[in-house]
Amino acid sequence: MSALTVGDPEDPATDIGPMARPDLRHLVAGQVAETLRAGADLIAGGNSVSDGTGWFFQPTLIADVRPGSPAYEEEIFGPVAAVLTFASDAEAVRIANATRFGLGSSVWGADLDRASHIGRQVVSGACFINAPVASDVRIPFGGAKRSGFGRELADAGIREFVNARTWWVNDDASARKGP
């Protein structure tokens, strides 16, 4: 995380661009600070970056995230990765499904069958195996539970922006005769 470059998103050397608004950066900073106060460990990042050109936040890694803390209970829409530990695949699925959110899940492992089996059990709008959650215009993207409304992108996404209307025309001549 420390090696990632924060800066202008149009610069090819940039890994992490700015957040959209100052209030969103402030919210993420507060979520990280509260998670640390709840006992998590800061491994990297954790601070706002002010250079006068954007609302930047350092790529952040926090470990030993505890139930009740924002990184455990909330969606953090910023460059923050939270590490939660578990003793078994079943416990990992239980932890993942205990949240009221479900935008996307990411399962990593050398055994693709095992990782896919775990991913199928997690309730989320998207599941990525050995890849970070990301939207792609070629596939529908959206959440489950309290994460988002409907889908965006691809064929399924465009249907979210139209109202389907049923038309029925009876071409049976006998139906057109009056009483």
DSSP 8-state class, residue 119: H
129 membership: H or E segment, kind and range: strand 126-129
40 touches 64 (CB < 8 A): yes
Q: CB-based contacts of 1: which residues, under 8 Å, 6+ apart?
A: 43, 44, 45, 58, 59, 60, 61, 81
Q: What pLDDT sits at residue 152?
A: 65
Share of the chain above pLDDT 70, in %: 88
Q: What is the pLDDT of residue 149?
A: 65
**Tens-digit pLDDT profile for residues 8-43:** 999 999 999 999 999 999 999 999 999 999 999 999
- Residues 124 and 115 sit within 8 Å (Cβ to Cβ): no
Short-list 117, 114, 119, 45, CA closest to 76: 45
Q: What is the pLDDT of residues 137-164, one digit of tens each?
A: 887 777 777 776 666 666 766 676 666 7
Which listed CATH number (3.40.50.1820, 3.60.15.10, 1.10.10.10, 3.40.309.10) goes with 22-176? 3.40.309.10
Name the band, by pLDDT with cuts 50, 70 and 90, for residue 133: confident
Does residue 57 register a pLDDT over 90?
yes
- The whole-number pLDDT of residue 151 equals 66
Could you state, in order of their start, the residue ranges of all structural domains in the chain?
A: 22-176
Alpha helices in 38-88, H assignment, sequence order: 70-73
Dihedral angle at the C-alpha atoms of 113, 115, 121, 122, nearest 10 degrees? -160
CB 5 within 8 A of CB 58: no
Written as one letter, the residue type at 64 is D
Helix (H) or strand (E) holding 125: none
Pairing of strands 104-107, 101-102: unpaired
